[in-house]
């Protein structure tokens, strides 16, 4: 029997986050606007210190979005048309699209059962045949096997970059999310575990000269407006209003993560063992941040339609592989069986820290009702 309380569940509710801490957020915004410094400044610097610390890095350079973070990083590393870059075939488009701007050649790789770039699928590529990098992404917040990835890249002279857009608060085998490789890019877009009321991103690294280059490239390639531009840069200075709100949000991050975990636990308890429905597989030795709760099933489209009629908003991550995007047509020359299966079968259920117990119960009831109905057919 379906719950008689709540009759819907939304995918994202930053309005609830705002209402919960309304005074704190408004005070922070008001102080920034009154200060007159609405881009960069103290709030951005404070945010960078906190982000560096939480990702176990010496430096953080905040930029306007996670996509910009990758773009700025590729420029700072000098990755250009001479480079090959290994990237997972299954991730958000922006894991790979900045490579096209850099002129680098993307080499797509299938993913493993945890939706991570599958090292066994890389083949013979190494840095000895020309400069080579690898971008790994801890998809859906699932921690990566960082020790295996690091030694794989070190043995082959491959420069390792982490797309940590979904990894804030996750733990890889032996690093926090954002702690892997030469540098990691982060996103604080509204759907992320540390959400901005707008867009913001960051690059985190232990490499001080790289951090200096990143700071210049995010601001027209100059180290300060009085200095000459020594490298082609961007205008990707982050908003001080956004940073001030993120600084408030950071205070409640751990609390929100506990709530994500509690909801995931409830889904896991309810759905494990349900015939035909696979719950997310969390890699042992790592900790997920439950950025997304993705189930897989054959009748994915039917479940999505059923939940939609029940006013439960779900999403598909991702309906197309990155190499299937028309912009990558010239780089799509093989199949990616695991990625294709995931893209056909995965459905992301609502999991955000502002869902009420009733709403979570309603999602559980509806998913179980659909699965029971399938068994009777
Ligand atoms: C894996 C991944 N990479 C990169 C990005 C890009 O981040 P942003 O949306 O902040 O530009 C995202 C955002 O959804 C992402 O999930």
Distance CA 306, CA 273 (A): 21
User: Which of these three, 251, 266, 301, is where a domain ends?
Assistant: 251
Q: What DSSP string describes 13-70? A: -HHHHHHHTHHHHHHHHHHHHHHT--BSSHHHHHHHHHHHHHTT-SEEEEES-HHHHH
Q: For residue 373, name the pLDDT band (cuts at 50, 70, 90).
A: confident
pLDDT at 59: 98
Please tell me whether residues 48 and 117 are part of one structural domain.
Answer: yes
Does the C-beta of 199 come closer than 6 Å to ligand 1? Answer: yes
pLDDT at 74: 98
Please tell me whether residues 273 and 214 are part of one structural domain.
Answer: no
Name which residue leads in pLDDT, 108 or 2: 108
**pLDDT tens per residue, range 239-252:** 999 999 999 999 99
Please tell me whether residues 60 and 163 are part of one structural domain.
Answer: yes
Distance of alpha carbon 185 from the chain centroid? 9
Please tell me whether residues 53 and 169 are part of one structural domain.
Answer: yes
Does the C-beta of 92 come closer than 6 Å to ligand 1? Answer: yes
User: Which of these three, 236, 251, 266, is where a domain ends?
Assistant: 251
pLDDT at 4: 56
Indicate which residue's Cα is closest to atom 3 of ligand 1.
95
CA of 97 to the centre of ligand 1 (A): 11
pTM: predicted TM-score of the whole model, two decimal places:
0.96
CA of 149 to the centre of ligand 1 (A): 21
Structural domain including 365 reads 253-376
Distance CA 154, CA 307 (A): 46
- Tell me the torsion sign for CA atoms 254, 169, 45, 198: negative
| Percentage of the residues of the chain whose pLDDT score is greater than 70 | 98
pLDDT at 2: 54
Please tell me whether residues 190 and 267 are part of one structural domain.
Answer: no
Q: What DSSP string describes 234-275? A: -B-PPBHHHHHHHHHHHHTHHHHHHHHHHHHHHHHHHHTT-T
Q: How confident is the model over 7-25, as a mean pLDDT?
A: 95
**Domain-embedded: residue 135:** yes
**Domain-embedded: residue 191:** yes
**pLDDT tens per residue, range 334-372:** 999 999 999 999 999 999 999 999 999 999 999 999 999
How is residue 142 written in tokens?
Answer: 């699932």
How is residue 33 written in tokens?
Answer: 């606007």
- Tell me the torsion sign for CA atoms 362, 367, 371, 377: positive
**Domain-embedded: residue 247:** yes
pLDDT at 129: 86
Distance of alpha carbon 46 from the chain centroid? 22
Distinct helix (H) and strand (E) counts, the chain: 12, 9
Structural domain count of the chain: 2
**Domain-embedded: residue 285:** yes
Question: Which atom of ligand 1 lies at the shortest distance from residue 163's CA?
Answer: 3
Question: Which atom of ligand 1 lies at the shortest distance from residue 187's CA?
Answer: 10
Q: For residue 64, name the pLDDT band (cuts at 50, 70, 90).
A: very high
Please tell me whether residues 328 and 182 are part of one structural domain.
Answer: no
Q: How confident is the model over 155-166, as a mean pLDDT?
A: 97
- Tell me the torsion sign for CA atoms 354, 356, 357, 360: negative
pLDDT for residue 326 is more than 90: yes
Does the C-beta of 67 come closer than 6 Å to ligand 1? Answer: yes
Contact indicator for 280, 288 with CB cutoff of 8 Å: yes
**pLDDT tens per residue, range 168-198:** 999 999 899 999 999 999 999 999 999 999 9
Residue 290 sits in a domain whose CATH number is 3.90.1150.10
pLDDT at 39: 96
Q: What is the mean pLDDT of the chain?
A: 95
**Domain-embedded: residue 183:** yes
pLDDT at 333: 80
Please tell me whether residues 288 and 324 are part of one structural domain.
Answer: yes
DSSP symbol at 9: B
pLDDT at 3: 52
Rg over CA atoms, the chain: 21
Question: Which atom of ligand 1 lies at the shortest distance from residue 189's CA?
Answer: 10
Please tell me whether residues 179 and 137 are part of one structural domain.
Answer: yes
Please tell me whether residues 236 and 284 are part of one structural domain.
Answer: no
Please tell me whether residues 259 and 236 are part of one structural domain.
Answer: no
CA of 141 to the centre of ligand 1 (A): 12
**pLDDT tens per residue, range 65-96:** 999 999 999 999 999 999 999 999 999 999 99
pLDDT at 225: 83
Residue 182 sits in a domain whose CATH number is 3.40.640.10
Please tell me whether residues 236 and 261 are part of one structural domain.
Answer: no
Strand runs labelled E in the chain = 59-63, 84-88, 105-109, 132-137, 159-163, 183-187, 201-205, 293-296, 346-349
**Domain-embedded: residue 2:** no
pLDDT at 348: 98
Name which residue leads in pLDDT, 374 or 6: 374
**pLDDT tens per residue, range 131-147:** 999 999 999 999 999 99
**Domain-embedded: residue 71:** yes
pLDDT for residue 1 is more than 70: no
pLDDT at 5: 62
pLDDT for residue 224 is more than 90: no
Indicate which residue's Cα is closest to atom 12 of ligand 1.
165
Distance CA 278, CA 295 (A): 6
CA of 282 to the centre of ligand 1 (A): 21
**pLDDT tens per residue, range 236-287:** 999 999 999 999 999 999 999 999 999 999 999 999 999 999 999 999 999 9
Question: Which atom of ligand 1 lies at the shortest distance from residue 69's CA?
Answer: 11
Which region among 209-213, 219-223, 359-363 has the lowest average model confidence (pLDDT)? 219-223
Does the C-beta of 89 come closer than 6 Å to ligand 1? Answer: no
User: Which of these three, 224, 251, 278, is where a domain ends?
Assistant: 251
CA of 235 to the centre of ligand 1 (A): 18
Indicate which residue's Cα is closest to atom 8 of ligand 1.
66
**Domain-embedded: residue 172:** yes
pLDDT at 376: 76
Please tell me whether residues 348 and 273 are part of one structural domain.
Answer: yes
């Amino acid at each position: 029997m379906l719950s008689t309380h709540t009759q819907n569940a939304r995918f994202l509710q930053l309005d609830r986050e705002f209402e919960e801490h309304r005074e704190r957020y408004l005070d922070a915004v008001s102080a920034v606007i009154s200060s007159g410094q609405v881009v960069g400044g103290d709030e951005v610097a404070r945010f960078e210190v906190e982000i560096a610390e939480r990702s176990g890095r010496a430096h953080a350079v905040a930029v306007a979005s996670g996509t910009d973070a990758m773009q700025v990083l590729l420029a700072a590393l000098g990755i250009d048309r001479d480079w090959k870059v290994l990237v997972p075939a299954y991730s958000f488009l922006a894991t790979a699209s900045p490579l096209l701007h850099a002129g680098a050649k993307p080499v797509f790789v299938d993913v493993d059962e945890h939706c991570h770039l599958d090292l066994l699928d890389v083949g013979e590529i190494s840095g000895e045949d020309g400069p080579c990098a690898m971008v790994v992404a801890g998809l859906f917040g699932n921690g990566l096997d960082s020790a295996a990835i690091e030694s794989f890249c070190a043995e082959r002279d491959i420069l390792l970059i982490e797309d940590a857009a979904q990894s804030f608060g996750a733990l890889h085998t032996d690093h926090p999310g954002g702690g892997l490789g030469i540098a990691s890019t982060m996103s604080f877009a509204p759907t992320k575990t540390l959400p901005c009321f707008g867009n913001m991103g960051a690059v985190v690294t232990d490499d001080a000269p790289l951090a200096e280059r990143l700071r210049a490239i995010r601001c027209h390639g100059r180290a300060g407006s009085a200095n000459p531009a020594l490298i082609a840069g961007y205008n990707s200075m982050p908003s001080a209003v956004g940073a001030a709100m993120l600084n408030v949000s950071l205070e409640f991050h751990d609390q929100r993560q506990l709530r994500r975990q509690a909801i995931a636990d409830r889904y896991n308890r309810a759905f494990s063992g349900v015939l035909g429905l696979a719950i997310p597989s969390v890699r042992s030795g790592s900790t997920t941040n439950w950025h997304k709760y993705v189930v897989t099933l054959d009748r994915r489209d039917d479940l999505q339609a059923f939940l939609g009629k029940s006013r439960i908003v779900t999403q598909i991550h991702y309906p197309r592989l990155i190499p299937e995007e028309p912009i990558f047509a010239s780089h799509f020359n093989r199949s990616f069986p695991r990625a294709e299966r995931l893209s056909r079968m995965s459905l992301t259920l609502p999991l955000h820290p502002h869902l009420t117990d009733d709403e979570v119960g309603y999602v559980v009831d509806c998913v179980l009702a659909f699965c029971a109905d399938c068994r009777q057919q």
